[in-house]
């Protein structure tokens, strides 16, 4: 499907109604006027006058956000945390802003839990975990540099939360930790400097963490080498799990030549390969069962320009840069290619940089941000639906 995107506007508005088998997916709405610079009303919480949520419906109204839109993150079911001049908790079903707060940092990641979100930001003072409730009220902030002073946390994806938000898993350079928020107790689950030796694997580094769906184990990703290998052996991708009491660690070689990050959603862990090792497929595992899988894309070089996972882990999207931006969406379980969307732009800068794609499972809808990481141009927004 081919769509034209107007890039002369600040934050273009493209809205979809209720997504259903009959919902049109081959038309692209006209761009809305430039996002107004006026601030939102003072009331941050949704009132009775605001539209009620309609199950499986989807709207993305960029006119509600002031300033340059720089990112979208999954919050609770069907909601997005939109980053612009502030952080906005946006309900895609009712098309309303539920709450807003200040932006702590431009380099952060968000992990939702039943009662809110954990936002891990990197700044001049190191990594800080901010815990918000459902309405973006800040309930706690944790300096990870103070919590684990001798083991820096170098990536926002190195922090995860249990389903109830009471426990945080934290990966430093040398060890994996569990922080119990109610008691303030910190436990070392895995110290890779002391060696693991599990299945003949020694961990060399940690690069990402996630809880299993039952929150009884912590999954982790990194690089490792065989126990008997000589010094200087290049690290190979490894993933594993360990009990929240530090017991029964299990490590496994990842079926990938190289991977630099772990994407996590719905108890599933996805491992996009580095650019030099793209082969048109995506390794992923079920963290609960430890079953390994591989999602095959349509072409051998697909995934080079971005891989994106939906909020519940049911769908994966890829981006392909060129004269236009091509986004493909796949069903993870079946491997079926559900849709191919082509977004045309007049300014090549928008398709010269990897976009950001957010996928909502229940409404089977996607939000595509172009130019969100380029200061000198305005962010352009496209949305589309997919599925039957």
**At residue 321, what are phi and psi to the nearest 5 degrees?**
-85, 155
Do 156 and 127 meet the contact criterion of CB atoms below 8 Å apart? yes
Specify which residues 134 forms β-bridges with: none
Architecture of the 148-303 domain: 7 Propeller (2.130)
For the chain, domain boundaries? 1-100+311-388, 148-303
Q: Higher pLDDT residue, 333 or 105? A: 333
Residue 31 is predicted with a pLDDT of: 35
pTM of the full predicted structure? Answer: 0.85
Say how far apart CA 132 and CA 25 lie, in whole Å. Answer: 35
**SS3 at position 146:** helix
Q: For tokens 């350079």, what's the residue?
A: 173
Return the structure tokens found at 348: 């090549």
For residue 234, the model assigns a pLDDT of 65
Which pLDDT band holds residue 26 (cuts at 50, 70, 90)? Answer: very low
Residue with tokens 């000589």: 230
Q: What percent of the chain has pLDDT over 70?
A: 83
Q: CA 46 to CA 31: how far, in whole Å?
A: 26
Q: Compute the average pLDDT of residues 346-369.
A: 95
Q: Which of 4-13, 100-109, 119-128, 354-363 has the lowest mean pLDDT?
A: 4-13
What's the pLDDT score for residue 291? Answer: 95
Q: Each residue of 270-325: pLDDT tens digit? A: 999 999 899 999 999 999 999 999 999 999 999 999 999 999 999 999 999 999 99
Is residue 180 pLDDT above 50, yes or no?
A: yes
- How many other CB atoms sit within 10 Å of the CB of residue 96? 19
Residues 6+ apart with CB under 8 A from 226: 200, 201, 202, 233
Please check whether residue 309 is in contact with residue 359, taking contact to mean a CB–CB distance below 8 angstroms: yes
Structure tokens at 293: 């899988």
Percent of the chain residues topping a pLDDT of 90? 71
Higher confidence at residue 21 or residue 75?
75
pLDDT score of 388: 63
Give CA–CA dist 369/65, Å, rounded. 14
Q: Cβ distance 246 to 189 under 8 Å?
A: yes
Quote the pLDDT of residue 355.
97
């Amino acid at each position: 499907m081919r769509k034209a995107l107007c890039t002369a506007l600040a934050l273009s508005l493209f809205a979809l109604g209720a997504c259903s088998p009959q919902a049109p997916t081959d038309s692209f709405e006209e761009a809305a006027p430039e996002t107004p610079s006026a601030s939102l009303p003072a009331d941050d919480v949704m009132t009775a006058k605001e539209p009620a949520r309609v199950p499986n419906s989807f709207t993305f109204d960029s006119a509600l956000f002031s300033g340059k839109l720089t990112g979208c993150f999954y919050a609770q079911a069907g909601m997005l945390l939109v980053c612009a001049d502030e952080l906005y908790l946006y309900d895609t079903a009712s098309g309303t802003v539920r709450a807003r707060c200040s932006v702590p940092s431009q380099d952060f990641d968000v992990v939702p839990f039943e009662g809110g979100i954990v936002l891990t930001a990197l700044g001049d003072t190191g990594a800080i975990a901010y815990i918000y409730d459902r309405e973006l009220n800040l309930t706690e902030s944790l300096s990870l540099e103070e919590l684990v002073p001798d083991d820096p946390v170098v990536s926002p994806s190195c922090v995860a939360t249990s389903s109830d938000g009471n426990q945080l898993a934290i990966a430093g350079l040398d060890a994996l930790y569990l922080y119990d928020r109610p008691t303030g107790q910190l436990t070392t689950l895995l110290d890779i400097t002391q060696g693991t030796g599990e299945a003949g694997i020694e961990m060399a580094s940690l690069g990402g963490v996630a809880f299993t769906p039952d929150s009884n184990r912590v999954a982790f990703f990194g690089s490792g080498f065989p126990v008997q290998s000589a010094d200087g052996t290049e690290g190979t991708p490894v993933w594993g799990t360990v009990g929240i009491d530090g017991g029964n660690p299990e490590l496994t070689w990842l079926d990938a030549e190289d991977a630099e990050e772990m994407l996590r959603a719905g108890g599933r862990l996805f491992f996009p390969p580095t650019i030099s090792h793209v082969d048109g497929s995506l390794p992923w595992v079920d963290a609960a069962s430890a079953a390994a899988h591989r999602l095959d894309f349509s072409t051998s070089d697909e995934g080079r320009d971005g891989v994106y996972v939906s909020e519940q882990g049911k769908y994966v999207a890829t981006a392909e840069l060129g004269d236009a931006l091509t986004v493909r969406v796949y069903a993870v379980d079946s491997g079926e290619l559900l849709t191919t969307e082509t977004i045309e732009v007049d300014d090549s800068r928008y398709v010269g940089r990897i976009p950001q794609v957010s996928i909502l499972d229940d409404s089977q809808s996607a939000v595509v941000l172009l130019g969100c990481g380029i200061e000198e141009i305005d962010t352009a927004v496209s949305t589309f639906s997919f599925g039957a």
